[in-house]
Chain A
Amino acid sequence: MQFMLLFSRQGKLRLQKWYVPLSDKEKKKITRELVQTVLARKPKMCSFLEWRDLKIVYKRYASLYFCCAIEDQDNELITLEIIHRYVELLDKYFGSVCELDIIFNFEKAYFILDEFLLGGEAQETSKKNVLKAIEQADLLQEDAKDAETPRSVLEEIGLT
């Protein structure tokens, strides 16, 4: 996979992940072009299209479009299910995910994606395992907070 874009029906980019080195200018150009192309397509049309020398696989979930660019040899249908699995992961993590979750917790959306896909390839396809990794990370930050609180109490009473 070369890149993945999430954008809204209004054409606002919500998440971008690039697996090939491109300049910011080129990224913006690609985004603009693709958002326009995909939004112009009608609902019943097929989920694949040729674009430059890449294949675009996209799917709409509620107000969000998920759009992946893959190479000639890559498998369209499995990419479609990569999108779906990612949506499931977001859904499970946020609890019935909506666009706002991704706007306000964009960093989480990136973290989940990194656990699922790396270098443009599926790293871990088990939903359980991905969520376990993310939850462990969340726990780590809870721990960190817990560890922090008593220390500051100690600081307050001048015991350090």
Chain B
Amino acid sequence: MPAVSKGDGMRGLAVFISDIRNCKSKEAEIKRINKELANIRSKFKGDKALDGYSKKKYVCKLLFIFLLGHDIDFGHMEAVNLLSSNKYTEKQIGYLFISVLVNSNSDLIRLINNGIKNDLASRNPTFMNLALHCIANVGSREMAEAFASEIPNILVAGDTMDSVKQSAALCLLRLNRTSADLVPMGEWTARVVHLLNDQHLGVVTAATSLITTLAQKSPDDFKTSISLAVARLSRIVTSASIDLQDYTYYFVAAPWLSVKLLRLLQCYPPPEDAALRSRLTECLETILNKAQEPPKSKKVQHSNAKNAVLFEAISLIIHHDSEPTLLVRACNQLGQFLQHRETNLRYLALESMCTLASSEFSHETVKTHIETVINALKTERDVSVRQRAVDLLYAMCDRSNAKQIVAEMLSYLETADYSIREEIVLKVAILAEKYAVDYTWYVDTILNLIRIAGDYVSEEVWYRVIQIVINRDDVQGYAAKTVFEALQAPACHENLVKVGGYILGEFGNLIAGDSRSSPLVQFNLLHSKFHLCSVPTRALLLSAYIKFINLFPEVKATIQDVLRSDSQLRNADVELQQRAVEYLRLSCIASTDILATVLEEMPPFPERESSILAKLKRKKGPGHLPDIDDARRNVNGSTEPSENTEATKKGSTHPFTDLLNLNSTPPSGASLLVDVFSDISTAAPAEVCEENFPRFVCKNNGVIYENQLLQIGLKSEYRQNLGRIYVFYGNKTSTQFLSFSSSVTSSDTLKAQLNVHAKTVDPIIEGGAQVQQILNIECVSDFTDAPVLNIQFRYGGTLQNIGVKLPVMLNKFFQPTEMLSQDFFQRWKQLGAPQQEVQKIFKARHPMDTDVTKAKILGFGVALLDGVDPNPANFVGAGVIHTKNTQVGCLLRLEPNTQAQMYRLTLRTSRDSVSQRLCDLLSEQF
């Protein structure tokens, strides 16, 4: 036991802790703990009321046991009791227990809140602080509900003690982080901003954190804090180091507060007011100047505190990105740190420079440090520093230095730590693609990647190289030659076999003229790898073989022999067996023409964001990846994204486009190619949502679909057999939707009956923005199905797939027809054939209100005929359905029976299918 034990030590607790420490084994410890738990339980249950001290001691023991990692399932009540003790230490232990061990013991929450309430009202600052600390530590919704409205009053009240203000400010900060909706904004917010002027630096420190959190959520409400923060900062940076007394830390004036103020200013753009702006610039210059001054102390704390402020100032300079001089100065300062003897500073300099690299003002200055960074990659002993160096090289890469950087990364990859290899592979692949001037370099680089780090080359990477080779015919011959040569190596990575198999299958003919790479040589080379490969690779090779049969009729017999062998035709793997059987039959029965058509060269892939980039973003999290110039993204694409949706669809109907899709279940429909190359994990086929479909039978406008990300609204108008729908896509998030596309698909039957033409939409929807798409519709003949609206977009790196049944129904093409009673009955009789009438009797699902019913029938599209039916309670309607081919007259009659809560609906039209469909649609509405 230590000699010093301040306050009142709890002897029993100390003995218990000593016992635990003396336990030789885990078992002994558990035994001792169980004994203690039994003891405490019996004390708590015992008849004799425990005094405060014992209660405190036992609660403290339980806390200790919990902190050792054991579960505690009792003692909460005793801890809560301690809250109402008037002895400070007992109260304190009670609060500590609750802060650490709070759980969903909902029956206790009320008691705990009661205790807190009493202490908050006590006007005793130490008690108030305990209560506020507890709220801040627990931060639960229940506490927010109980106290979020009260704490602002404590914070801004004139007579509140400084220390209580500090606790209250940070308590509010915590509640605002966990349940912002419960913290009321109001008059107090203006007064909180003025705490930046407070005399007590501790109050300013706590308040600055709170204001920053609030300003991040609603910057406009806290704009006034800018000038106050600048003024405060200016006073600190120009003060002599002793001015701030105890807030000076190792000769640095108020480093924590400075960092927080600089952080607060990062919530805003540069100040508009010129005087304020120049005052801030002065502050930043002073901070940069101080970095050049000789240190006032040799202690690391001095330089850390000083540099903490410096780095935060640089963050603000980068955030403003508006003062070229400051940016260049910051960059030079970081350049000095790159060679500093402190590892921490080298690490931070590399990290900070990453963001500077993306500013147009400092990109070139950052690039001057390339040799130092490359050197860091080679010599740093700490993997996390090397990782930063890789990140910075990636960020500073552009067309001028891409070859050097890619080469350095490749050579580093040979010795790189396993933990960061995959990431380097992704980065090399992206840079090689983005800055490829000639694609032979790109192909070489990717093949090198596979050679050096084949295991870390993910599917996205080798998919991508194939995409690019297929899309660029100038590189196909070179790619075929290079993979052919690479495959000569006695041991080559399976990923190389995949790429090789695919590329030779497509473009092997381009090198077949050379006798050293004749068709048979190519085939034998590939097949020599076959037996060492996994099932998916073998499946891919089989597809390459059938493509060979088409390319090179001279090897047909050899390949057929291979396909015919038992190891293929009777392979235990169903996918391999099926491919062997099908390919063999195909090669036997199909004519050369058919083969040539079926096995035609792959059509170009649609251009889209590299799936590798998406993967890297996922890996690093959105904040970590410096954006290296998205404008330069379409390296290999010449087509516009909007035209590519068409290409996708055309491509996907091609029977052999699934060469890369090795799943045994073929994916359906238009999304085939997208599925193959996009994130495998996320591109789940969308289920079609038809939840809101029935609501649109009798109306044309409204929200058809909504989830957490997206809201889709519709406005429609119809005339004769034509219609137009305005679809509104609202981004409900604050993040962009990327690669947004939406198209309309119809079943084969419906395609002949209904033409839908969808205009293209912008591929990007900004956070909070709404985009409109126009659908033009033509009704050719009567129909029953509904078209489906397919929406795809990328949100935060994952692909979203949504299908919505579009409310285009037959009744939309109604033109109402007014007619007199006698005309109605005459036509009614004319439509008397049994198949022309459809009748349905059904139970009312909504209250039977005459006006509502009338509105629905009108909304359905027919004219409501008054005075036709002898029974005034009945409704009678007439209209004509317009289609391009024909017009269908339609009469309807709805007879409500209020007593039975039933309806009878009768429809007569000249076409039975129309009668049936209209009856189905309308009967669901009442």
**Beyond A46-B343, A118-B171, A144-B88, is A76–B137 a contact (Cβ under 8 Å)?**
no
A100 within 8 A of B: yes
Residue B228 lies at the interface, judged by CB distance under 8 Å to chain A: no
Decide yes or no: A106 and B67 within 8 Å by CB, A48-B348, A119-B171 being known contacts: yes
Asked, given contacts A73-B263, A107-B96, whether A122 binds B209 with beta carbons under 8 Å apart, the answer is: yes
Q: Is the CB of A93 within 8 A of B67?
A: no
Complex contact A127–B246 (CB within 8 A): yes
Q: Which of B169-187 contact A (CB under 8 A)?
A: 170-171, 173-174, 177-178
Asked if B621 is at the interface (CB within 8 A of a chain A CB), the reply is yes
Q: Are A119 and B170 in contact (CB under 8 A)?
A: yes
A39 at the interface (CB under 8 A from B): no
- Pair A118/B202 contact, Cβ less than 8 Å: no
**A144–B100 CA distance with the chains assembled, in angstroms:** 25
Interface residue A36 (Cβ < 8 Å from any Cβ of B): no
Is B190 close to A, CB under 8 A?
no
In contact, A46 and B346 (Cβ under 8 angstroms): yes
Interface string of B240-272 (1 = CB under 8 A from A): 000001110100001111011001001000000
Q: Does B847 sit at the interface, judged by CB under 8 A?
A: no
A125-B347 CB under 8 A given contacts A75-B259, A93-B6, A103-B21: no
B88 and A137 within 8 A (CB): yes
Binds A, one of B152-160, B378-386, B538-546, B913-921: B378-386
Contacting pair B201 A141 (CB below 8 A):
no
Interface positions, chain A 33-69, Cβ under 8 Å from B, are: 42, 44-50, 53
Whether, in the assembled complex, B509 has its beta carbon less than 8 Å from a beta carbon of chain A, the answer is no
Residues of A within 8 A of B126 (CB): 136-137, 140
Tell me the complex Cα distance, A82–B167, Å. 18
Residue B8 interfacial (CB < 8 Å): yes
Cross-chain contact of A104 among B7, B17, B92, B255 (Cβ < 8 A) = B17
Instruction: A122 to B337: give the CA distance in the assembly, Å.
Output: 27
Q: Mark B309-346, 1 if CB is under 8 A from A, else 0.
A: 10110000000000000000000000000000001101
Any chain A CB within 8 A of the CB of B189?
no
- What CA separation (Å) do A110 and B130 show in the bound complex? 12
When A104-B2, A107-B96, A119-B170 are in contact, do A45 and B381 touch as well, CB less than 8 Å? yes
List the B side residues contacting A125 at CB < 8 Å: 201-202, 205, 247, 249, 254, 256-257
Neighbour of B624 across the interface among A72, A142, A145, CB < 8 A: A72
Given contacts A13-B69, A125-B247, contact A53 B621 (CB under 8 A): yes
- Write the nearest CB–CB distance from A102 to chain B, whole angstroms: 10
Complex contacts, A82 vs chain B, CB 8 Å: 256
Give the distance in Å from the alpha carbon of A15 to the alpha carbon of B21 in the complex.
16
- Give Cα distance in the complex from A19 to B100, angstroms: 11
**A148–B295 CA distance with the chains assembled, in angstroms:** 54
Selected from B6, B137, B247, B305, the residue in CB contact (under 8 A) with A138 is B6
CB of B78 to closest CB in A, whole Å: 16
- Confirm or deny: B25 has a beta carbon within 8 angstroms of a beta carbon on chain A: no
User: Considering the chains assembled together, what is the distance between the CA atoms of A105 and B249 in angstroms?
Assistant: 27
B170 touches A118 (CB 8 A): yes
Most chain-B Cβ atoms within 10 A of its Cβ — which of A28, A120, A126, A137? Answer: A126
B173 contact set on A, CB distance < 8 A = 119, 121
Q: Are A19 and B174 in contact (CB under 8 A)?
A: yes
Task: State which of A78, A95, A104 has its C-beta within 8 Å of the C-beta of B14.
Answer: A104
Q: Is B308 an interface residue (CB 8 A)?
A: yes
Q: How many A-B pairs fall under 8 Å by CB?
A: 196
Q: Does B872 contact A (CB under 8 A)?
A: no
Is B909 an interface residue, CB under 8 A from the partner? no
B901 nearest CB across to chain A (Å): 50
- B354 within 8 Å of A by Cβ? no
Query: In the complex, what residues of B have CB within 8 A of residue A42's CB?
Result: 381-382
Determine whether B87 belongs to the interface, using a CB cutoff of 8 Å to chain A.
yes
The residue of chain A having its C-beta at the shortest distance from the C-beta of B621 within the complex is A53
Report Cα–Cα, A108/B6, bound state, in Å.
9
* Bound complex: CA A19 to CA B175 (Å): 11
CB distance from B164 to the nearest CB of A (A): 11
Task: Tell me if B739 is interfacial: C-beta within 8 Å of chain A.
Answer: no
Contact with B along A75-107 (1 / 0, CB 8 A): 111101110110000000111001011011111
When C-beta atoms are compared, the residue in chain B nearest to A101 turns out to be B2
The CA-CA distance from A44 to B384 in the complex, in Å, is 12
Residue interface bits B454-484, CB-to-A below 8 A is 1, else 0:
0000000000000000000000000000000
A21 lies within 8 A of B140 (CB): yes
B440 proximal to A (CB < 8 A): no
Q: Are B201 and A126 in contact (CB under 8 A)?
A: yes
Contact partner of B163 (CB less than 8 A), chosen from A21, A124, A141, is A124
Question: Main SS of chain B's interface residues?
Answer: helix
- Give Cα A81 to B250, complex, Å: 10
Q: Is there contact, CB below 8 Å, between B305 and A77?
A: yes
A111 & B92 in contact (Cβ 8 Å cutoff): yes
Contact A126 B307 (CB under 8 A): no
- On chain A, the residues within 8 Å of B21 by CB distance are 103
Residues of A within 8 A of B87 (CB): 141, 144
User: Are A141 and B257 also in contact (CB < 8 A) when A118-B170, A121-B170 are?
Assistant: no
Instruction: Check A29 for interface membership: any CB of B closer than 8 A.
Output: no
Within 8 A of B (CB), among A130-149: 133, 136-138, 140-142, 144-145
A138 contacts B206, C-beta separation under 8 Å: no
Are A75 and B163 interface neighbours, CB within 8 A? Answer: no
CA distance A19 to B136 in the complex (A): 9
In the assembled complex, the Cα of A111 lies from the Cα of B2 at a distance in Å of 19
Q: Are B14 and A141 in contact (CB under 8 A)?
A: no
C-alpha gap A16/B174 in the complex (Å) = 18
* Residue interface bits B72-110, CB-to-A below 8 A is 1, else 0: 000000000000000111001100100010000000000
Tell me the chain B residues, 1-44 only, with Cβ under 8 Å from chain A: 1-2, 4-8, 14, 17, 21
Contacts of B254 in A (CB 8 A): 125
Q: Which of A81, A95, A98 contacts B304 (CB 8 A)?
A: A81
Asked if B806 is at the interface of the complex by the 8 Å CB criterion, the answer is no
Q: How far is the CB of B181 from chain A (nearest CB, A)?
A: 16
Take A28-B69, A48-B348, A137-B88 as given contacts and tell me if A77 and B201 are in contact as well, using a CB distance cutoff of 8 Å.
no
- B501 CB within 8 Å of chain A: no
Whether A118 touches B136, Cβ cut-off 8 Å, given contacts A28-B69, A125-B205, is: yes
Chain A residues whose CB sits within 8 angstroms of the CB of B249 once the complex forms: 81, 85, 125
- How close is A45's CB to chain B, nearest CB, in angstroms? 4
Report how far A123 CA is from B136 CA in the complex, Å.
12
Hey, which chain A residues are within 8 Å of B344, CB to CB?
46-48, 76-77, 80
Inter-subunit contact A105/B136 (CB<8 Å): no
Cα–Cα, bound, A141→B139 (Å): 27
CA distance in complex: A149, B302 (Å) = 48
Our pick among A15, A118, A141 for the contact of B89 (Cβ within 8 Å) is: A141
Which of B1, B8, B206, B307 has a CB less than 8 Å from the CB of A123?
Answer: B206
Known: A19-B174, A28-B69, A137-B88. A45 touches B17 (CB 8 A): no
- B348 contact from A76, A95, A118, Cβ within 8 A: A76
**Closest B-chain residue to A80, C-beta based?**
B304
Given known A123-B206, A125-B247, A144-B87, contact A48–B347 (CB-CB < 8 A): yes
Shortest distance from the beta carbon of B487 to any chain A beta carbon, whole Å: 38
Quick check: is B301 within 8 A (CB to CB) of the other chain? yes
Verify B139–A119 contact, CB threshold 8 A. yes
Contact indicator per residue, chain B 273-285, by CB within 8 Å of chain A (1) or not (0): 0000000000000
Among B163, B307, B385, residue most surrounded by chain A Cβ atoms (within 10 Å): B163
Q: Which residue of A lies closest to B206 (CB)?
A: A123
Contacts of A141 in B (CB 8 A): 7-8, 87-89
For the A-B complex with A121-B209, A137-B88 known, give 10 more contacts whose Cβ atoms are closer than 8 Å. Answer: A13-B69, A21-B140, A75-B312, A107-B96, A110-B96, A118-B170, A119-B139, A133-B163, A140-B88, A140-B126
19 A-B pairs, CB-CB below 8 angstroms?
Answer: A15-B67, A48-B347, A73-B266, A75-B263, A76-B344, A77-B348, A81-B301, A85-B249, A104-B17, A105-B6, A108-B6, A110-B96, A118-B132, A119-B173, A119-B174, A125-B201, A125-B256, A138-B6, A144-B87
Nearest 4 CB-CB pairs, A to B? A77-B308, A119-B174, A118-B170, A78-B308
